[in-house]
């Protein structure tokens, strides 16, 4: 089983739609959780960290469920510019802080 698993998609949604991505992780000792965005042929960049109480940044909402080892990202009112790959990342301590990424979920927002 992979340490971090995501549905690869692709998700094809119209502008204005709400879309949700899920991610599960296997290491119950994981400490920090993140969503990164990667545009085509570019490097990943942090979209948002995921906090235990859930957190929101504009149209983006992240949730963490430690009991189920599950992370989610909700995008409301999708824009064309949201088209990208969204990578779930999990950080834990194994003699040092190690961050493992999921394979990513591709999102296409259509006009």
Q: Which residues bind another protein (CB under 8 A)?
A: 6, 32, 34, 36, 42-46, 49, 87, 89, 91, 94-104
Give the DSSP H or E segment for 21.
Answer: strand 19-25
Distance in Å, CB of 77 to another protein, minimum: 26
Instruction: Say how many CA atoms lie within 13 Å of 50 toward its Cβ.
Output: 26
Please give the Cα distance from 90 to 43 (Å, whole number). Answer: 18
Residue closer to another protein, measured from CB, 72 or 76 = 72
Nearest distance from residue 44's CB to another protein, in Å?
Answer: 6
Comparing CB distances to another protein, the nearer of 60 and 76 is: 60
Helix (H, G, I), strand (E, B) or coil at 81: helix
Smallest distance from the beta carbon of 75 to another protein, in angstroms? Answer: 19
Task: Tell me whether residue 16 or residue 54 sits nearer to another protein (CB atom).
Answer: 54
Q: How far is the CB of 66 from another protein (least distance, A)?
A: 16
Burial group, residue 30, by CB count within 10 angstroms (0-12, 13-18, 19+)? buried
């Amino acid at each position: 089983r992979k340490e971090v698993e995501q549905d690869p998609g692709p998700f094809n949604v119209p502008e204005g739609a709400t879309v949700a991505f899920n991610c599960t992780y296997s290491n119950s000792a994981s400490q920090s959780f993140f969503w990164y965005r990667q545009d085509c042929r570019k490097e990943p960049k942090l979209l948002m960290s995921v906090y235990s109480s859930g957190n929101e940044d504009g149209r983006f909402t992240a949730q963490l469920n430690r009991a189920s080892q599950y992370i989610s990202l909700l995008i409301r009112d999708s824009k064309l510019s949201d088209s990208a790959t969204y990578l779930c990342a999990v950080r834990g301590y194994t003699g040092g802080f190690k961050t493992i990424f999921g394979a990513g979920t591709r999102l296409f927002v259509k006009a």
